[in-house]
């Protein structure tokens, strides 16, 4: 992936050295995993899956409360700037900044044209270990997520190492896919889809609705990827990297890793095949009209 280093985006909120609490954010509770509240990340999905199978209950339903404090024993930053670590992470911060700005610049143009809505920028919060959001605590176990309560994406840069080492999805464009997916959730909020999903989920089919929401965010990430292909900043290997990342976080693969079994009824994000399919659909079409996951069975 061709990208140009050059400073930090004005849409980055850097909390990496702000201390474990990251701020005292108070706000209403939002919906469970997959929409409304934070979109449970890879690490959190595996942990919750394991516990759900062990205790034979759906623990995903517990992700509906407001902000919570750090649990006992959770890693906490000291609030003292880690100059050496900040310097080491500078290239990663500049990469995140480049992708964030590029994705949001793309939607600033595309959304009025394709969705007949003006785009407003989301913020991206960089943190270490743990911080707070109106959707609850952000930490290592949650992975990256979008919170509609404050319209911010939350990201610990350490997740990218996990994506590469543990889940076998290396490469810059795999990381870019993650950011574009989370901004896809922001596009859903602007379009009113997030509110629609809240209403649809009240009928007891929250998991099925969550899958549609997540697959659509994958498709929206693909719409952005279409523009990067046209501008020749990615090549075939980058597309393969993004598809690998989509496959790596499929529910079936994560469940297999966590428990050795696959339970489609408990899917909240979609299978590896479906996540790749919808990313590719957005990339091929370059239009949000190709991303109507809600009309697909």
3-state secondary structure 206-263: HHHHHHHHHHHHHHHHHHHHHHHHHCCCCCHHHHHHHHHHHHHCCHHHHHHHHHCCCC
Q: Which residue has the higher pLDDT, 171 or 280?
A: 280
Residue 81 CB: number of other CB atoms within 10 A? 12
Residue 136 binned pLDDT confidence (cut-offs 50, 70, 90): confident
**Residue 1 counted as domain residue:** no
Residue 91 CB: number of other CB atoms within 10 A? 10
**Residue 6 counted as domain residue:** no
Using CA atoms, how far apart are residues 269 and 145, in angstroms rounded to an integer? 13
**Residue 7 counted as domain residue:** no
- pLDDT tens, position by position, 6-20: 889 999 999 998 755
Q: Which residue has the higher pLDDT, 223 or 163?
A: 223
The domain in which residue 251 lies consists of 12-295
Structure tokens at 193: 């889809």
**Residue 3 counted as domain residue:** no
At 4 the pLDDT is 82
Mean pLDDT value of segment 227-232: 91
At 99 the pLDDT is 95
Q: Integer distance in angstroms from the first to the last C-alpha of the chain?
A: 34
Do residues 5 and 91 touch, judged by C-beta distance below 8 A?
yes
- pLDDT tens, position by position, 96-117: 999 999 999 999 999 999 999 9
Do residues 145 and 179 touch, judged by C-beta distance below 8 A?
no
**What is the total count of domains within the chain?**
1
Nearest partner of 27 among 86, 68, 71, judged by Cα = 68
Does residue 180 register a pLDDT over 90?
Answer: yes
Query: In percent, how much of the chain has pLDDT > 70?
Result: 76
- pLDDT tens, position by position, 39-59: 555 545 554 554 444 444 444
At 277 the pLDDT is 94
Query: In percent, how much of the chain has pLDDT > 90?
Result: 44
Does residue 190 register a pLDDT over 90?
Answer: yes
Mean pLDDT value of segment 69-77: 39
**Residue 20 counted as domain residue:** yes
At 267 the pLDDT is 85
Residue 80 binned pLDDT confidence (cut-offs 50, 70, 90): low
Average pLDDT along the chain: 79
Using CA atoms, how far apart are residues 7 and 86, in angstroms rounded to an integer? 13
């Amino acid at each position: 992936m061709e990208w140009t280093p050059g400073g930090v985006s004005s849409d980055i909120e850097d909390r990496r050295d702000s201390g474990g609490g990251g701020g005292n954010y108070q706000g209403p509770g939002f919906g469970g995993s997959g929409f409304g509240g934070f979109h449970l990340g890879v690490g959190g999905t595996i942990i919750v899956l394991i516990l759900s199978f062990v205790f034979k209950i759906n623990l995903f339903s517990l992700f509906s409360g407001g902000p919570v404090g750090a649990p006992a024993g959770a890693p906490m930053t000291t609030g003292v700037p880690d100059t050496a670590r900040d310097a080491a992470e500078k290239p990663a911060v500049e990469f995140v900044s480049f992708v964030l700005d590029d994705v949001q610049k793309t939607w600033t143009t595309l959304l009025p044209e394709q969705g007949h809505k003006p785009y407003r920028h989301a913020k991206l919060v960089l943190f270490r270990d743990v911080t707070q959001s109106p959707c609850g605590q952000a930490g290592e176990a949650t992975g990256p997520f979008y919170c509609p309560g404050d319209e911010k994406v939350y990201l610990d840069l350490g997740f990218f190492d996990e994506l590469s080492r543990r889940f076998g999805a290396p490469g810059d464009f795999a990381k870019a896919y993650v950011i574009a997916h989370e901004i896809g959730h922001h596009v859903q909020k602007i379009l009113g889809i997030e509110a629609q999903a809240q209403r649809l989920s009240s009928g007891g089919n929250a998991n099925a609705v969550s899958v549609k929401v997540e697959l659509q965010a994958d498709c929206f990430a693909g719409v952005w990827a279409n523009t990067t292909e046209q501008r020749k900043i990615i090549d075939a290997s980058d597309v393969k990297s993004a598809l690998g990342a989509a496959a790596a976080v499929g529910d079936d693969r994560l469940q297999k890793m966590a428990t050795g079994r696959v339970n489609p009824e408990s899917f909240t994000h979609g299978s590896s095949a479906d996540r790749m399919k919808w990313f590719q659909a957005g990339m091929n079409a370059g239009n949000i009209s190709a991303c109507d996951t809600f009309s697909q069975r």
